[in-house]
């Protein structure tokens, strides 16, 4: 006989305890109203994690609804499932998503990063998709700081060890360094998978009489209140919250992947969800609410690995490599046999009934009984409209007069300093720790703006990239967010892919601060406008607030993960120079705006001005023109202009060729009339550097004119040197010494 809620014994709950759980007084009063009584201790824990920002999006959902979340190629709207789904034809779809693991990585960088990879992989394969690629977007502080070097080494090793052991190639990403991330690094993990339309699994609990099964690893105390921990600022006490950081096991996850895909493809599964943030609590409540079904769980049946765990701990544990399955009773033994074959635990822990409650029993007591809808986003979870106000620093920094800067006396030295910058230099040391070739689908000849992975099922390929220049967003959140979308789209265009859709990870400070919330709102507005013009709807995403330390907030950092499609894999191109004598052309216009540029930061020590101007319609026309040139095979290379501007892009095309064993540079002239440093180092948007045979110049000009895109012939590819007439004259080897090995020197490791 199960004791009722009124009979159950648990610690006394009051407003003080609710506040310690991260709830506010208004939310505690709402819980009392929903339940009509004081919650049990376990119920308080359930509400505290489900109403945390990490799970409920209570401070962000009102703005997120303004994003374009549907499109003709999308099979589900953003937020409907564990990840976004994009139709790629032939009965297949691509599942992809990005999520943050910032706070855990700040406290325990190795496990924080590793479990971030594991969590995003489970989001993909719980949909029935086999993961085919991993990406990451990382932000750290100044490399002169020993803590930054410790965090970087731990995060990179955690990503590499987990992904390599799990057996999915890590093929792309981005890494930036700035003082604002010193105490609060950003670790955003992205995964991409492929699934047949008729094998897509859903995160839903439906069908009274169906059973609830937990599969995978045993449940421990790791990660308890991880969702709440991710919904507060980093402080001096954060180190004491190491138990809130989960511990991952990639080998178990690999077994879980194969077993999960097997039961999904066999048709045994009605619904499935990863036990990620908030563990059983989140999956049980979200699946029940989505299916309008009652779920009753017996926690005594949950396999545990630690002694004397309470029901509260079991419900809130975020132990890794676990899933919750809804299964027809007739298939219970079938599912059990599959998981036992893969040497994984599999246990029936509950059942579905008519109704709408989530009921939890433990040791003969009912320790929780709450309406599932009251817990979830889209149900009774709070929705807040926070105060927003433009920060005072914005107008102050925009008063900057670029003409007040002295012009460099040695342009060779300026370019070499930029090539050594940790935001520009080679990431070889990082990439070398990742297995990029497992499963043998990565096209390794592509060195440049995006990674390309072949789809063996047909002659297609995918291009993927993450991107965001947070300095731009800091100076102008609206324009900076637009640029993040535009540049990630431009990245995939430069390898020959048509941008399809995005996933995003929105990293910001404390939303209760009006200036931070203004940054967030303006960034969402910028993403929405860019996605609408570029026809790249938002398929999925994540919001990470409270990225602050006692020293202040991070730069607003809305990471964009872009997916592009290449219909003919033979058309893929890279950024490296190909042949001596090829002409070098610039698609797009140079204005000379250096606000927020790497040049301004590295050479002059300033972060000021406005973000570069961007016209999204010009950007769209640039994409169309470049893709037409690539599809007609009349350009040999393409590279977008970003950090460091024209001079750095020119050097990178040479250095990418150098990495392939060719010593090719270029000799060019620069646009006039304009200050030379502005022409060389400005980061004006909507520009792509291409090379071609001179015989194709008339066709390139015709396409550019038809798409209303400016095209300028700058010079030609030459042997061994990088020359900008009268200003820069460097050997490719000199540039390579600055570019390759710079990160290793700053981190203090051997190359």
What is the β-pairing status of strands 130-140 and 170-177? parallel
Tell whether 409 and 296 lie within a shared domain. no
pLDDT of residue 445: 78
User: Does the active-site annotation cover 707?
Assistant: no
Digit-coded pLDDT (tens) for 471-508: 999 999 999 999 999 999 999 999 999 999 999 999 99
What are the backbone angles phi and psi of residue 683, rounded to the nearest 5°? -115, 45
Does 87 map to a domain?
Answer: no
pLDDT of residue 551: 86
Query: What is the 3-class SS of 497-554, one letter each residue?
Result: CEEEEEEEEEECCCCCCHHHHHHHHHHHHHHHHHHHHHCCCEEEEEEECCCEECCEEC
Digit-coded pLDDT (tens) for 501-525: 999 999 999 999 999 999 999 999 9
pLDDT grade for 456, boundaries at 50, 70 and 90: confident
Tell whether 368 and 423 lie within a shared domain. no
pLDDT grade for 239, boundaries at 50, 70 and 90: very low
Q: Of the given ranges (5-19, 172-186, 234-248, 561-575), which has the lowest mean pLDDT?
A: 234-248
User: Does the active-site annotation cover 623?
Assistant: no
pLDDT grade for 581, boundaries at 50, 70 and 90: very high
Tell whether 578 and 657 lie within a shared domain. yes
pLDDT of residue 9: 58
Tell whether 340 and 426 lie within a shared domain. no
Residue 12 has pLDDT above 90, yes or no: no
Tell whether 720 and 621 lie within a shared domain. yes
Tell whether 215 and 297 lie within a shared domain. yes
The secondary element (H helix, E strand) that includes residue 285 is helix 279-291
Share above pLDDT 90 across residues of the chain, in percent, rounded to a whole number = 88
Tell whether 211 and 301 lie within a shared domain. yes
Does 580 map to a domain?
Answer: yes
Does 369 map to a domain?
Answer: yes
Residue 231 has pLDDT above 50, yes or no: no
pLDDT grade for 234, boundaries at 50, 70 and 90: low
Does 468 map to a domain?
Answer: no
Q: Can you tell me the distance from the alpha carbon of 186 to that of 161, in angstroms, rounded to the nearest whole number?
A: 18
Count up the domains in the chain and report the number: 2
Tell whether 340 and 425 lie within a shared domain. no
Digit-coded pLDDT (tens) for 169-189: 999 999 999 999 999 999 999
Altogether, the residues listed in the chain come to a count of: 751
CA distances, 617 to each of 88, 535, 565, 603, 724 (Å): 25, 11, 21, 32, 31
Tell whether 234 and 341 lie within a shared domain. yes
Which residue range(s) make up the domain with 633? Answer: 392-431+573-751
The residue annotated as part of the active site, out of 101, 103, 225, 707, is: 101
In 3D space, the residue among 480, 469, 447, 417 whose CA is nearest the CA of residue 680 turns out to be 417
Tell whether 419 and 295 lie within a shared domain. no
Residue 4 has pLDDT above 80, yes or no: no
Does 183 map to a domain?
Answer: no
Does 177 map to a domain?
Answer: no
- Predicted TM-score (pTM) of the model is 0.95
Q: Of the given ranges (13-17, 103-107, 330-334, 455-459), which has the lowest mean pLDDT?
A: 455-459
Tell whether 425 and 309 lie within a shared domain. no
Share above pLDDT 70 across residues of the chain, in percent, rounded to a whole number = 96
pLDDT of residue 750: 79
Residue 631 has pLDDT above 70, yes or no: yes
The residue annotated as part of the active site, out of 21, 54, 103, 225, is: 54
SS3 189: strand
pLDDT grade for 246, boundaries at 50, 70 and 90: confident
pLDDT of residue 241: 43
In 3D space, the residue among 615, 587, 630 whose CA is nearest the CA of residue 498 turns out to be 630
Task: Choose one of 380, 401, 420: the last residue of a domain.
Answer: 380
Digit-coded pLDDT (tens) for 122-177: 999 999 999 999 999 999 999 999 999 999 999 999 999 999 999 999 999 999 99
Check: CB of residue 297 under 8 Å from CB of residue 349.
yes
- Helix extents (H) in 613-741: 616-631, 645-659, 676-681, 697-706, 732-739
The Cβ of residue 594 has, within 10 Å, a number of other Cβ atoms equal to 26
Does 343 map to a domain?
Answer: yes
Does 123 map to a domain?
Answer: no
Residue 602 has pLDDT above 70, yes or no: yes
Tell whether 299 and 402 lie within a shared domain. no
Check: CB of residue 327 under 8 Å from CB of residue 335.
yes
CATH of the domain at 406: 3.90.650.10
pLDDT of residue 277: 83
Residue 2 has pLDDT above 90, yes or no: no
Task: Give me the chain's average pLDDT, please.
Answer: 94
pLDDT of residue 444: 79
Digit-coded pLDDT (tens) for 336-358: 999 999 999 999 999 999 999 99
Q: Can you tell me the distance from the alpha carbon of 143 to that of 152, in angstroms, rounded to the nearest whole number?
A: 9
Digit-coded pLDDT (tens) for 680-713: 999 999 999 999 999 999 999 999 999 999 999 9
């Amino acid at each position: 006989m199960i004791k009722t809620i009124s009979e159950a014994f648990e610690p006394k709950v009051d407003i003080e305890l609710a506040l310690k759980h991260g709830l506010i007084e208004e939310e505690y009063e709402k819980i009392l109203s929903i339940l009509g009584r004081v919650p049990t201790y376990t119920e308080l824990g359930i509400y505290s994690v489900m109403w945390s920002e990490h799970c409920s999006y209570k401070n962000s959902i009102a703005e997120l609804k303004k994003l374009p979340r549907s499109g003709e190629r999308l099979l589900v709207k953003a937020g409907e499932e564990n990840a976004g789904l994009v139709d790629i034809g032939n009965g297949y779809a691509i599942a992809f998503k990005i999520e943050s693991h910032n706070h855990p990585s700040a406290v325990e960088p190795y496990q924080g990063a590793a479990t971030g990879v594991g969590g995003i992989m489970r989001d993909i394969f719980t949909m029935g998709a086999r993961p085919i690629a991993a990406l990451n977007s990382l932000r750290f502080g100044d490399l002169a700081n020993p803590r930054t070097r410790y965090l970087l080494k731990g995060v990179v090793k955690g990503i590499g060890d987990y992904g390599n052991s799990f057996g999915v190639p890590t093929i792309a990403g981005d890494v930036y360094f700035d003082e604002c991330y010193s105490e609060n690094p950003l670790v955003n993990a992205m995964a991409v998978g492929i699934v047949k339309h008729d094998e897509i699994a859903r995160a839903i609990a439906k069908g009274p009489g169906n059973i609830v099964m937990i599969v995978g690893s045993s449940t421990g105390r790791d990660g308890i209140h991880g969702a709440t921990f991710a919904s507060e600022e980093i402080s001096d006490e954060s180190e004491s919250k190491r138990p809130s950081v989960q511990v991952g096991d990639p080998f178990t996850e690999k077994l879980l992947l194969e077993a999960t895909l097997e039961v999904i493809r066999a048709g045994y599964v009605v619904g499935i969800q990863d036990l990620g943030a908030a563990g059983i609590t989140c999956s049980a409540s979200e699946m029940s609410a989505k299916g309008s079904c009652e779920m009753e769980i017996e926690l005594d049946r949950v396999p545990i690995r630690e002694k004397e765990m309470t029901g509260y701990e079991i419900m809130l544990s975020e132990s890794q490599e676990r899933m919750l399955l809804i299964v027809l009773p007739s298939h219970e033994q079938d599912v059990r046999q599959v998981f036992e074959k893969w040497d994984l635990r599999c246990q029936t822990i509950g059942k579905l009934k008519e109704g709408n409650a989530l009921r939890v029993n433990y040791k003969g007591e009912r320790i929780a009984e709450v309406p599932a809808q009251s817990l979830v986003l889209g149900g009774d979870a709070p929705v807040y409209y926070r105060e927003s106000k433009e920060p005072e620093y914005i107008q102050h920094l925009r008063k900057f007069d670029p003409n007040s800067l002295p012009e460099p006396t040695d342009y060779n030295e300026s370019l070499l300093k930029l090539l050594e910058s940790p935001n520009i230099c080679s990431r070889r040391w990082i990439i070398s720790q990742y297995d990029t070739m497992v499963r043998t689908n990565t096209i390794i000849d592509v060195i440049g703006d995006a990674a390309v992975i072949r789809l063996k099922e047909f002659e297609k390929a995918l291009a993927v990239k993450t991107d965001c220049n947070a300095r731009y967003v800091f100076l102008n959140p609206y324009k900076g967010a637009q640029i993040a979308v535009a540049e990630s789209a431009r990245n995939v265009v430069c390898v020959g892919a048509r941008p399809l859709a995005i996933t995003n990870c929105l990293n910001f400070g404390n939303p209760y601060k009006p200036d931070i919330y203004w940054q967030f709102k303006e960034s969402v507005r910028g993403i929405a406008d860019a996605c609408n013009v570029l026809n790249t709807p938002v398929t999925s995403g994540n919001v990470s607030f409270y990225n602050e330390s006692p020293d202040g907030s991070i730069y607003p950092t809305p990471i964009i993960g872009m997916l592009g499609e290449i219909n003919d894999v033979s058309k893929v191109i890279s950024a490296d120079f190909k042949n001596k004598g090829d002409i070098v052309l610039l698609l797009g216009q140079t204005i000379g705006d250096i606000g927020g540029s790497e040049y301004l930061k590295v050479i002059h020590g300033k972060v000021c001005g406005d973000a570069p101007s961007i016209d999204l319609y010009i950007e769209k026309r640039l994409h169309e023109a470049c893709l037409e040139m690539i599809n007609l095979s009349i350009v040999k290379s393409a590279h977008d202009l970003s950090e460091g501007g024209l001079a750095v892009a020119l050097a990178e095309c040479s250095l990418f060729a150098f990495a392939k064993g060719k010593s090719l540079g270029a000799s060019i002239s620069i646009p006039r009339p304009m200050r030379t440093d502005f022409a060389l180092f400005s980061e004006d948007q909507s520009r792509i550097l291409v090379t071609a045979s001179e015989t194709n110049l008339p066709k390139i000009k015709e396409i550019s004119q038809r798409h209303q895109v400016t095209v300028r012939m700058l010079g030609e590819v030459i042997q061994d040197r990088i020359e900008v007439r009268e200003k820069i004259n460097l050997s490719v080897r000199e540039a390579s010494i600055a570019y390759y090995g710079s990160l290793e020197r700053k981190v203090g490791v051997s190359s």
